[in-house]
Amino acid sequence: MDYKKTEAPLSTITYDKSKVEAPTQNIYEAISIISQRATQIGSDLKKELVDKLEEFATYNDSLEEVFENKEQIEVSKFYEKLPKAHAIAVEEWLEGKIYHRRPEQD
């Protein structure tokens, strides 16, 4: 999934409780599912960022020289400006993009 094109808010907003709990009829179950999805999104974004920053890595034994790489700074700033993982997960939940099931009902 492309998290860069999401419409999730950048800051904290208030959601209608009835809309959040509507798919499961249980607010705690809905929050648990959203939390698990936010964890997945967070780890995906972190892996993607680490992979991109690896391109700029320099391995020196000397700690005296520290280089500022403008591209590396731009990549880091871009990822800092993305919506947080929980905001993306809530947005996906409200749009019905998260698949969930109860094993005891199957």
Q: Is residue 72 part of a domain?
A: yes
Q: Is residue 7 part of a domain?
A: no
pLDDT in tens, 12-49: 889 999 999 999 999 999 999 999 999 999 999 999 98
pLDDT of residue 70: 81
Q: Is residue 86 part of a domain?
A: yes
Show the domain range for 89.
Answer: 16-99
3-state secondary structure of 101: coil
Q: Is residue 106 part of a domain?
A: no
pLDDT of residue 27: 95
Q: Which of 47, 51, 45 is closest to 3 using CA atoms?
A: 45
What does the alpha-carbon distance between residue 67 and residue 69 come to, in Å, rounded to a whole number?
6
